[in-house]
């Protein structure tokens, strides 16, 4: 990877620092663009496309499942939240086709706390709340699979909001060795609701093994439990046992890698092979949405942008 500096920081995570030449190109494009036009001309930036493709090559190695890419490593080149959002979208397009994430067909979803009246337990989606926990994969709202998930940070909250990453392969090996009955149950079909996409349901296992012999997960327990309640098919004692085993493994400190994403950081991950979540967080008291008219320069709400990419 001659274009970027990378460093393995875990057995499945690689941290990437964007070099100054590429940062300079990105910032210069922003400066030359119409300030009212948020669609900066990144598609014609071949250096950026080459960078994204080099990142993808890194993910095709046997061990690496997650890249944490820093676009704000040099204070001289400031990547603001508008440019970071567009960097995310264009990088996603270079990797493949973006998948719709809700009934409105949005493919570039902004993740932030919409208010205290929303909760996952009451039907809200994870990305609409400040709630933590529920280590999961994103591929639960629709039955089809996609390959990559991007989660990029536009702004940080005041406290909390640590990102949690878990290597699905580690969890699978522990299931296979020590919890064979739980593994067997997780490979059977469960009900899922297409929350936020439609009112329909589908069935699929939590754990599957792909053609390469790699473990792939589909998991977000509150969504699964809600689907079984709505279908009037309560989870039986064996299913609950298997879910409890899986949760215990996902919440084990030895299986977790935690980091605090800063504005300008981007996570590129193999969605079904990396489970993720966050700790609960609090925004600044007078924080504003990135969409608001923020003339007083108030602190921004903790804000991420998420894309799902099918190759």
CATH of the domain at 262: 3.60.130.10
Write phi, then psi, for 47 (nearest 5 degrees): -65, -40
| Whether the Cβ atoms of residue 172 and residue 264 lie closer than 8 Å to each other | no
Q: What is the pLDDT of residue 182?
A: 98
Domain boundary (230, 250, 270) is at 250
pLDDT in single tens digits along all 311 residues of the chain: 445 567 787 889 999 999 888 888 887 766 555 445 545 455 457 889 999 999 999 998 878 999 999 998 777 888 889 889 989 999 999 999 999 999 999 999 999 998 888 888 888 888 888 888 889 999 999 999 999 999 999 999 999 999 999 999 999 999 999 999 999 999 999 999 999 899 999 999 999 999 989 999 999 999 999 999 999 999 999 999 999 999 999 999 999 999 999 999 999 999 999 999 999 999 999 999 988 888 778 999 999 999 999 99
The 10 Å Cβ neighbour count of residue 22 is 18
Contacts of 15 (CB under 8 A, 6+ apart): 6, 7, 8, 9, 67, 68, 69, 70
Do 205 and 67 share a domain, yes or no? Answer: no
Whether residue 266 sits in one domain with residue 206: no
* Residues 34 and 116 reside in one and the same domain: yes
Q: Is 161 left (phi over 0), alpha (psi -120 to 50) or beta?
A: left
Q: How far apart are CA 301 and CA 112, in angstroms?
A: 7
Instruction: Please indicate, yes or no, whether residues 153 and 16 belong to a single structural domain of this protein.
Output: yes
Domain that holds residue 189: 169-250
The domain boundary, picked from 221, 250, 279, lies at 250
Same domain, 84 and 29: yes
The pLDDT, as a whole number, for residue 8 is: 83
Number of structural domains the chain divides into: 2
* 19 and 89 housed in the same domain: yes
pLDDT of res. 143 = 93
Q: How far is CA 144 from the centre of its chain?
A: 17
Q: Are residues 161 and 173 in the same domain?
A: no
Closest of 221, 177, 227 to residue 202, by C-alpha: 227
Clarify whether residues 151 and 57 are in a common domain: yes
Computed on alpha carbons and rounded to an integer, the radius of gyration of the chain in Å comes to: 20
Domain match, 282 and 148 both: yes
Same domain for 187 and 275, yes or no, is no
Pair 179, 304 in one domain:
no
Residues 107 and 224 both lie in one domain? no
Domain boundary among 202, 217, 250: 250
Distance CA 143, CA 187 (A): 16
> What is the C-alpha separation between 243 and 247, in angstroms, rounded?
6
């Amino acid at each position: 990877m001659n274009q970027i500096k990378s460093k393995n920081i875990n057995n499945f995570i690689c941290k990437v620092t964007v070099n100054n030449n590429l940062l300079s190109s990105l910032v210069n494009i922003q400066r030359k663009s119409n300030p009212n036009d948020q669609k900066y001309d990144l598609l014609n930036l071949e250096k950026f496309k080459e960078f994204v493709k080099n990142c993808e090559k890194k993910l095709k190695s046997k061990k690496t499942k997650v890249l944490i890419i820093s676009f704000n490593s040099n204070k001289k080149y400031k990547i603001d939240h508008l440019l970071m959002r567009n960097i995310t979208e264009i990088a996603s397009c270079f990797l493949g086709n973006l998948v719709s994430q809700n009934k409105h067909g949005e493919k570039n979803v902004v993740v932030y706390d919409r208010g205290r009246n929303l909760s996952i337990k009451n039907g809200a989606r994870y990305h609409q709340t400040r709630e933590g926990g529920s280590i999961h994969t994103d591929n639960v709202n629709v039955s089809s699979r996609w390959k990559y998930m991007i989660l990029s940070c536009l702004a940080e909250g005041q406290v909390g909001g640590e990102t949690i990453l878990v290597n699905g392969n580690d969890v699978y090996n522990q299931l296979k060795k020590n919890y064979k009955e739980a593994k067997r149950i997780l490979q059977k079909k469960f009900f899922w609701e297409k929350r936020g996409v439609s009112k329909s349901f589908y069935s699929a296992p939590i754990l599957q093994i792909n053609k390469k012999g790699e473990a792939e997960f589909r998991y977000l327990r509150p969504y699964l439990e809600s689907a079984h309640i709505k279908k009037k098919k309560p989870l039986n004692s064996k299913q609950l046992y298997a879910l409890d085993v899986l949760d215990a493994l996902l919440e084990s400190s030895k299986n977790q890698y935690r980091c605090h994403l800063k504005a300008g950081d981007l996570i590129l991950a193999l969605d079904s092979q990396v489970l993720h979540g966050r700790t609960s967080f609090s925004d600044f008291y007078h924080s504003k949405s990135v969409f608001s008219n923020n003339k007083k320069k108030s602190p921004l709400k903790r804000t991420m942008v998420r894309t799902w990419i099918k190759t």
